[in-house]
Amino acid sequence: MFRLIWFVSIHIRYFMRRVMPTNIVLDKIRTRSGLKWGVPTMLLAIPYLYAASLLTVIIQDGGPGWLNIFVLIALWSALKMLWIGPISLVLLVRVRL
């Protein structure tokens, strides 16, 4: 059973790493030429937060409970977009020095 859970989690992580738009954007920003786009990328958190709030309203109005997974994914993606701004600024200053 533990092996099955481990196997499934590896494949879910691989899928999320390769397909999710936020991970693709973060990989582009972490390059030397992409560091300048870190702060504007923080604005991408707004649609993710809106989607999470919209899904929360749908769930509270009697929607299916499995939508909570998408709420968590949207919130996690929004947090990633919010954190890349300050991190990219620190990395950009470090590269410039």
Give 50-86 pLDDT, tens digit per residue.
Answer: 999 999 999 999 989 999 999 999 999 999 999 998 9
What is the domain count for the chain?
A: 1
Range of the domain at 21: 2-96
Average pLDDT over residues 16-29: 87
| Residue 31 DSSP symbol | S
pLDDT band at 34 (very low <50, low <70, confident <90, very high): confident
pLDDT at position 52, please? 97
- Stronger pLDDT, 13 or 75, i.e. the higher one: 75
**How many angstroms separate the CA atoms of 1 and 28, rounded?**
37
**pLDDT(33) > 90:** no
**How many angstroms separate the CA atoms of 32 and 36, rounded?**
9
| Residue 83 DSSP symbol | H
- Return mean pLDDT, the chain: 91
pTM, rounded to two decimals: 0.80
Residue 85 · residue 37 · CB < 8 Å: no
Alpha helices (H) along the chain: 2-19, 21-29, 38-41, 45-60, 67-96
3-state secondary structure at position 81: helix
Two structure tokens written together for 50: 């809106």
Radius of gyration for the alpha carbons in the chain, expressed in angstroms and rounded: 17
pLDDT at position 8, please? 93
Average pLDDT over residues 42-53: 95
